Copies of this chain bind each other. A is one copy, B any other.
Amino acid sequence: MSDNTIIEMRNINKTYDNKVIINDLNLNINKGEFITVIGSSGCGKTTVLKMINGLNTPDRGEIFINGENIKNENIIELRRKIGYSIQGTSLFPHMTIEKNISYVPNLINKKDKDEVKKSVSKLIKVVGLEESILNRYPEQLSGGQQQRVGIARALAAQPDILLMDEPFGAVDEITRKQLQDEIVRIHKELEVTIIFITHDIKEALKLGTRVLVMDKGEIVQFNKPEVIKKHPANDFVRELVL
């Protein structure tokens, strides 16, 4: 483990109903990396992601963030530094879009309401939506619009770590390209560490500084996109990059 490591997972195991979901998983992620995660549906990607912000706890194994075991950390403080864009969409149904996006800043009790407002306006544009929807409620948005609000909400925390679970799954290709560009820009500008689950291998290879390929609860390959492309670890990866 180098000094640069921001997230480390050691010997993680997780079982549901006697079925092993995650089997002895080990993972090291460095500060400022952009990790894309790809793998078959139901292989355990979301499970691993949720472990990082403590929404899910492994049956066995340890997780360290910035070298501290998260068991011993103030999980609330930790989570506020971790942006989380949830698979599917779980916007807060009783809040307007504006309230949804400013949820974390309001949690931290930023006194400067104007600033929060300004940053919300900025974020809504970052995800390609119009300011006019800020006063609407989630159910009044289309699926893709909701998903993008979820991304904006995750970004609003100005987090050190950004967990994104299939964030662009419900948007069209054109918007997707814009969003990809935005996320790359954000990654560079803010030097945030990103873990990004996607089913689009092109997206994974394009965005990731390293790509994590999972299958059946295990890491099949974890390497730079070029390496993945050139030297797929096994048939599963080979079929993926085809």
A103 to chain B, nearest CB (A): 20
Out of B46, B170, B174, B239, which one reaches A169, CB within 8 Å? B170
Within 8 A of B (CB), among A94-140: 128, 140
Q: Which A residues are closer than 8 A to B by beta carbons?
A: 16, 38-42, 45-46, 87-89, 128, 140-145, 148, 165-166, 169-176, 199-201, 236, 239-240
A42 and B142 contact, Cβ closer than 8 Å, known pairs A88-B88, A176-B199, A199-B176: yes
- Would A42 and B141 count as touching, CB distance under 8 A? yes
Q: Give the docked Cα–Cα distance between A89 and B88 (Å).
A: 8
Return A143 CB to nearest CB of chain B, in Å.
4
- Which of B143, B165, B176, B239 is the one whose CB lies under 8 Å from A88? B143
Contacts of A175 in B (CB 8 A): 40-41
- State the CA gap A201–B226 with chains docked (Å): 25
In the bound complex, how far is the Cα of B197 from the Cα of A170, in angstroms? Answer: 11
Query: Known pairs A42-B141, A88-B88, A174-B239. 16 more at Cβ < 8 A?
Result: A38-B172, A40-B172, A40-B175, A41-B128, A41-B143, A41-B144, A41-B145, A41-B148, A41-B175, A42-B145, A46-B142, A143-B165, A169-B170, A170-B199, A173-B199, A173-B200
